[in-house]
Every structure is written in C-alpha cells, then in structure tokens.
Amino acid sequence: MNRSQIDRTTRFLTPRTLVLFAMVAFAVGYRLVVYFVPGLLPWNFTPVEAMALFGGACFADRRLAILIPLAAMAVADTLIALALPAAQLRDWIVMAPVIYACIALTAFAGFALRGRVRILNVALAAVGSATGFFLVTNFFVWVGSGMYPANISGLIACYVAGLPFYQYGSLPGTLLWSAVLFGTFALLSRRYTVLAGAPQAA
C-alpha cells in the first residue's frame, strides 16, 4: 500500500465515520432482532428510514451517505431472505427495487439536514420519509401484486389496508429511531469533540 492509498484510508477511517457506521450497523441489527424474534415489536417498527435519513445528514462523503445504509440493508435483507418461504421470497424480490429506491431517496432527503439538524427539522424529515415510503410502496403493491382491482377503488383499498402498518409501525418507528440516532450522535459529539464537524449543505 503506497502513501496515497494510506492517506485515503486514513481520511475514510475517521473516528466520526467509524462511529456513524457502528450506529448504522446497530440499527440494522435491531431490524434483524425484530424479524427473528416475532412479537417483540410491530413488523414495521424498524429503523430503516431513520437510518437512511441519519446517514444522509451525517456522513461527510455523500457517496457513503447513500451506500452504507443501502449496503447495511442488503446484508440484513439477505439474512432475512434466507429464512423466507418461497412465495414470500418472490414477493420480496418484486418489491426490493422499490424499497431500495425509497431508502436511497430518503438518504438524499437527509442531505437537506446537513448543518440544519434541529429537533423540528429532524421530526419533519422523519414524518416526510415515513409518509413517502408508505405512499410509494403501497402504490407499487397496488400496481404489481394483483391483490386489488386496477381502479381508484382498488388503490384506496390498498392504502387503507396498509394504513395500520404506517400508523402503528413505520411512522412512530421512524420518529423514535430518528430521535435515537440523531440524539445519541449529538450527545456523543458534545462529549467527544473529535466527532463534531457536521457536514454542511451544499
């Protein structure tokens, strides 16, 4: 490894980046616990959207801000997929591109929080992310699942069926996990100044 490679690695492996990565990994690990320990919490009460929002807001490198949450999700999803029955696995494969696109868009939305991490801003971003995820994913369920009529009544029925998962799972889960991730990192940054220096908006 030459000097330039060492310098690039050193710039990448900063304490801030390592702590951020560890927090993302913890959030993904929690998602695995929710799946493999049924009944612990609602299925949608997971940190997926909050993790992407946090990554977009806090990773200095914009590529890492998107790639690390996606890669962490991919690892978790691979482990979950291995335990899925064949029929559920097919459904998951169909929806996976939509889900990952939503996660990437949420990370992009996190860019707007750079230098503006405030309680109200994070709460609004969390609500917007969870709501967008609900609207987009349920729309594609209506389009591709064949479970609902291909008309406005079918679309409304699809959204109504998904509403409990949003109302009692993804929305409060995204709000709670956003508070945990952003709040924990803010406290750590105050205690350890080496973690400070939030990326600024372009």
Q: Do the domain assignments include residue 7?
A: no
pLDDT in tens, 93-149: 888 999 999 999 999 999 999 989 999 999 999 999 999 999 999 999 999 888 899
Q: Is residue 199 a part of any domain in this protein? A: no
Checking if the pLDDT of 8 tops 60, the result is no
Q: What are 65's two structure tokens?
A: 């801000």
The answer to whether residue 141 sits within a structural domain is yes
Count up the domains in the chain and report the number.
1
In a domain, 71, yes or no: yes
In a domain, 5, yes or no: no
- Identify the domain containing residue 185 by its residue range: 14-194
Contact yes or no for 95/140 (Cβ under 8 A): yes
pLDDT for 197 equals: 63
What is the pTM for the complete model shown? 0.83
| 97 inside domain | yes
For 153-199, how does the pLDDT look when each residue is reduced to its tens digit (9 = 90+)?
999 999 999 999 899 889 999 999 999 999 999 998 888 887 776 56
- Rounded-to-integer distance, Cα 48 and Cα 28, Å: 7
Residues 31-53: tens digit of each pLDDT: 788 778 877 766 677 788 999 99
Report the distance separating Cα 85 and Cα 126, nearest Å. Answer: 32
Q: Kindly state whether residue 1 falls inside one of the protein's structural domains.
A: no
Which ranges of the chain does DSSP label H, i.e. alpha helix?
3-12, 15-36, 48-58, 62-82, 86-111, 119-144, 152-165, 171-191
Q: Residue 80's CB: how many other CB atoms inside 10 A?
A: 16
201 within domain boundaries: no
Of 137, 125, 200, 196, whose CA–CA distance to 166 is shortest? 137
